[in-house]
Amino acid sequence: MKEANEWNEVIRYSPCEKYLAVGSHDNRVYVYEISEDGSEYKKYCTFFKNSSYITSFDWSLDSKVIRTTSGSHEKLYHCLETHKHMPDGLSSTKDMEWAT
Question: Where do the domains of the chain lie?
Answer: 8-88
Residues, the chain, total? 100
Q: d(Cα 52, Cα 63) in Å, to the nearest integer?
A: 24
**pLDDT tens digits, the chain, 100 residues: what are they?**
678 888 899 999 999 999 999 999 999 999 999 999 999 999 999 999 999 999 999 999 999 999 999 999 999 999 999 999 999 999 999 999 999 7
pLDDT at 3: 86
pLDDT at 100: 76
Question: How far, in Å, are 50, 66, 82, 86, 96 from residue 30 at the CA level?
Answer: 12, 11, 14, 16, 22
pTM metric for this prediction: 0.93
Topology classification of domain 8-88:
Thrombin, subunit H (2.40.10)
